[in-house]
Amino acid sequence: MPRDFLSLADHSPEQIRAYLDLARQVKLHPQGFRDVCRGRTLAMIFQKPSLRTRVSFETGIYQLGGQGLYLGPKDIQLHRGETIADTARVLSRYVDGIMARVFAHQDVVDLAAYADVPVINGLSDLLHPCQVLADLQTIEEKLGSLAGRKWTYIGDGNNMAHSILFGGALAGMTVAVGHPRGYAPDPEIVTRARDIAARTGGAIQVTEDPGLAAQEADVVYTDVWASMGQEAEHAERLKRFEGFQVDEAMMGRARPGAIFMHCLPAHRGEEVAAEVIDGPQSVVFDQAENRLHAQKAVMIKLMGDRW
């Protein structure tokens, strides 16, 4: 098992399975894990705010017997006043793990390179591995299996698309990404996902036709069209993403028992219709809950006793 949790692609299918099995046990029997991280401290670096990331990690480490230490932009300034290398070395003398929610992915890579304690990627501009680990847990709970399923992502080829490509490929799923022209996922990520899928029996499809991507899907997923830091592009993106809203017609292209997923926060009327996200196929709040359980599994593996 890698010391850090930076990317799902750093793990083997067997290691991802171990995380999912542990997350399931943590969810079913939380009291059995309440002392696993007793006396351990998790430093939580936030360059940008987040409801789900902060509350799930802070609650999770507390439920494991440890404590979380919030370090916001006013508490710690990466690149300003102190180098990432020095920040990592100093924190390593105080805490037992570091979670970082950052803009540049290189920041979490550098933190891991210089820290003597495990580093968890809480989100970067390239990847969102904790979210997709929770998503895999949710899909398995709702559909009963992962391998052979079709997981469709519609929208911007962003960090969510990238981690879905990796997570779905590792699970032996077919991952379809439907994106507007000019908003394709990173080609290097796609290539690496295809290499993984070739070994697991999965498949990767990238298309500018959202309807084709949604066809016969077991899971339909979307994300906001303008993420944090892209507010100035919002009006332009609304034009460019026309036709990519996940509405009832789009869901109608998926399999009858398909589920709808969204990492939240959601903008009803933009990337998703209210009838879909608030409808019977939506599992978005189950996903949100599973962030707690999946991330507890990560902290147990990286910071806990006997693991």
List residues with catalytic annotation: 101, 128, 131, 223, 263, 291
Question: What are 64's two structure tokens?
Answer: 């494991």
Distance between CA atoms of residues 193 and 170, nearest Å: 8
**One-letter identity of residue 170:** L
Distance between CA atoms of residues 302 and 23, nearest Å: 13
Beta bridge partner(s), residue 219:
151, 259
**One-letter identity of residue 145:** S
Distance between CA atoms of residues 304 and 47, nearest Å: 26
Q: At residue 98, what are phi and psi to the nearest 5 degrees? A: -130, 125
Buried b (16+ CB within 10 A) or exposed e, 84-101: beebbeebbeebbbbbbb
**One-letter identity of residue 298:** V
Distance between CA atoms of residues 219 and 301, nearest Å: 28
